[in-house]
Structure 1
Amino acid sequence: MRQSSPAINRFRSIARFVQGTVLLSKTYNGASRLSFDTAVDASLLTMNPVGNPSDPPVEGKQSLVASNLVAPFTQSIAQHRHNEGDQTQLTDQEIIRMERKALDLFEQASYISVHKRLAIAISVIAFFNEFALAGMEEPNFAQAERLYNQAATLNCTFAQARLAFLKMHGRPNIKINQATAEQYKTQLTNLSKSFTLEESRIKSTSLSWLHILAVNHHPAAQFCLGLCHYNGIGAPKQNVSTYIWCHRAAIQNHAGAMNMLGNLYTEGHGTTKTPGTGLRWYIRAAERKDAAAIYNIGTLFERGIAVEEDSRQAFEWYIRASVFGSVNAQNVLGIFYEQGVGVAQNPEKAVQYYKLAAGNGHPHAMYNLARCYHDGLVYRETIRLR
């Protein structure tokens, strides 16, 4: 019997995917539960054409629907994402077109019914906003946080994992809240301990769509999966896995992954400790305006790691990082101005930066600002300005 070509198989897979998507959209307009199950089954066929789609329970089915909405465009992305030299502007536009289509489908899937929303679909839309996919000009962190919160209230483990990271480290328009971050992290840890084998299989589908993207060379997904392994949130804590996934994303020019590789090489996590290599990755990320990488270069100059210790250079890098929204840099600039490190001592500027960082939720900046009030630094500056 003549075998089908890969192109024909892909076409059939996409055809099944479209069938499932059409049925999903019908459920949004009030179709029966039977239509929903049929839609799920059709969607499952995109990844397992000859399998038994009736096996997964409903919870697993819902997450697999979201996973398989992503599958068609990741298959098309895989080859040229893996070989940067073959990329063209037309190809990039094609990727954006497919990502936009996927985003539209996820938005439809997120409203299957008033009482049964696909939490994982909501979190995927948040993911698109966080990493500026589908042709978005820049990340929309405020929208990402809002959607992650919606999905988290529906017990989406991926959304909880992303909130744990974002609330721990902060982003522009996302205030640091370490208590909230620890709450999500603890909740996820307790859930994983309490799951039976079957429950673990069901819940693991919350990250299945992310893994599908990652293995198909999507850099944002690879970076995100690497962070899950680094923090032990939603995945086993494994620095080697972090290195593998972040390296795959970094060679595709993902700035966040480049910065993470800088961390891993500088600290020797998951790879040989090589601060010089770490610095090179930081610089590559900084060239792409990654605030964390710019801040990290400042720390290397401040501590004399991989470069000659230079407080003035550190100060300059911290200024740049602050401009791009680094809350850590804002707090350190307060310290530099207060103590006269790398710049002339300026209590007024110190307080300004402490206030800026504290307003973004930085706990050390809050302490430093409180100390300034306690020691009378803020009061003295107020009198002097008058």
Structure 2
Amino acid sequence: MFNPDSLRLPFFDEGHHALHDAAHAWSAEHLTNRVHHGSVDARCQELTRLLGDAGWLRYCVPAAYGGMFEELDSRSLCLMRQTLGYYDGLADFAFVMQGLGSGPISLFGSEALKQKYLPKVARGDMLAAFALSEPDAGSDVAAMTTRATRTASGYRINGVKTWISNADIADFYTVFARVENDEAEGVTAFVVDANTPGLAVTERFDVCAPHPIGTLTFTDCDISVEQRIGMPGQGFKVALQNLDVFRASVGAAALGFAEAALDMGIARATSRPMFGATLADLQITQAAIGDMSTEIDAATLLVYRAAWERDILKQRTTRSAAMAKLFATESAQRIIDRCVQLHGGLGVKVGHPMEMLYREIRALRIYEGATEVQQVVIARETMKNKTGGVQK
């Protein structure tokens, strides 16, 4: 977080202040260019090892398994994502995938699963992935068609998952499938090791901000019952509570992107000669900077309110996290677009950090529930919780 006034908000304690300062200093030294060249797979693997060696991945798992806190701390996750997002979108991606992919194990996994996977996640020795989306079941998870049929020794999974981040480089996938012939119906969560027979990465595709992503195909993929996360039929609960932890952090990453854009935009505006003065001397530029600064502060309040509610009030944050993600990502898109405009031609030159930010922000308005889905969630939660209203 780079507005020092924000750290004085009552959402934070001294540990968060120290985390901010340390993460900022480390990132400034180790993440010197958000524009990457060469293999994106190799860079993600390198970043995961770098984050693990520095101890930052400890914030992704509980203390009993090599983590930093007894339970996952949402405010720390948000501070880390905001900081990493400011410097390097791919570093933010590498960080959050360790948390998102292993989060269901931290929240609902058996002791054996926690011991098997979480210490290696915290060290960066294992890469995690989260496999929920399907070709016809993204935001509408109820349309899921991947099946897990009960067998004598475990489950046999058949189906397709797509838009899976870390596809082909993950060591394990948290997979959601609809169970059949089991003690309870409904979706169930499993951990599937990447080398399990019957699991194949059948497609890799490029997106506007490069990162590893692709399609997984399960063909008679047999796993033991010990690889199940939680009880049969609890998969929706597992997925939603995991997303409750990490959805606000998407807004935090967007904050980091927006702050980076604003800093670059101000630097450009104050150094660019324009009509005998500078671009920053124009009132229209000052109005834009005023709007952008206000949106960043508003997004900060929404993001850390949601994280604080989860950490301190110990309550579900379905509504507040949806608000944080919606506003922070949408405002970051507007801020980055304006800062591209301030850069003129440089803002759309491939290889310029501003152009990279323009590509990086777009996906945040889609993943972990698109903006339109967040609007529906907010509306439903608001109507459900409303006790008064206008009389008919």
TM bin, normalised by shorter chain, reads under 0.3
| Normalised TM-score (structure 1) | 0.26
| Larger Cα-atom Rg | 1
Between structures 1 and 2, the one with greater helix share: 1
| Normalised TM-score (structure 2) | 0.26
Between structures 1 and 2, the one with greater strand share: 2
